[in-house]
Amino acid sequence: MILWDLRFDSKLVQLPIEHCQSLPAALFSQNDRDEILGKPNRPIRQPEGKTNMTTKLLLLPFALLFAAHNPLRGEMIYDITATDIDNETRKLEEFAGKLLLIVNVASKCGFTGQYENLESLYQKYKDEGLVVLGFPCNQFGGQEPGTSEDIKSFCSLNYGVTFPMFEKIDVNGPNQHPLYSFLSGENSPFQGRVKWNFSKFLVGRDGKILARFGSMTNPESSKITKAIEAAL
């Protein structure tokens, strides 16, 4: 979880960044909200009176409770859990603050060679904050029939994959994984069924979906690298 440090009247307050987005406007002014979110471009304001800020501190727990349970906040990618290739449950919250390229992969597809490009892309930008996440899927032509152990061995031996890999999931249909409900569901800016293996979603450091790329768009194409560099 990303925490923002904020001082009011010499008191340190740590706010989860996803909660700050929905702090009630009646309680915090726009300047307060921008200060919490770290936005630097608003005019510097004069310090507020001690009583006013102390009152806000007292009300802050109620504001955070409202933000956490606000139905308008919607699901965030960091609320989702997934099982990795080693059968370990992982919260996607661990990738908060990273730029994510999420790909549904397969071992027996005409686009399987993109594993090499994905690994190259990961190595090039990982120190700047990019993480590639691979999610095997067998929904397209039965092209990912193996077990997690089979998939892990295939990726390691043939393409030297080091980016995080997860267990096989459904990206469409009644058993669609919650991650793909988030990425392609009705509330997504890039909604619509995943059409084939190696479709790609770019998710920003703030957890918002930035772009969607089809199977035929190579991970190292200028279209994707420019989008990555702009978001890093």
The residues that are catalytic are: 109
Q: Which of 199, 232, 19 is nearest to 118 (CA)?
A: 199
Whole-angstrom distance, CA of residue 226 vs CA of residue 95: 21
Whole-angstrom distance, CA of residue 206 vs CA of residue 225: 19
Q: Torsion angle of alpha carbons 156, 161, 162, 167, nearest 10°?
A: -80
Q: Which of 174, 181, 222, 176 is nearest to 201 (CA)?
A: 181
Identify how many contiguous H helices and E strands the chain contains and give both numbers.
Answer: 7, 8
Q: Which of 225, 212, 218, 223 is nearest to 117 (CA)?
A: 218
Whole-angstrom distance, CA of residue 43 vs CA of residue 28: 16
Q: Which two tokens stand for residue 183?
A: 């990425």
Q: At what angle do helices 148-159 and 114-125 cross, to 10 degrees?
A: 70
Q: Which of 24, 32, 60 is nearest to 48 (CA)?
A: 32
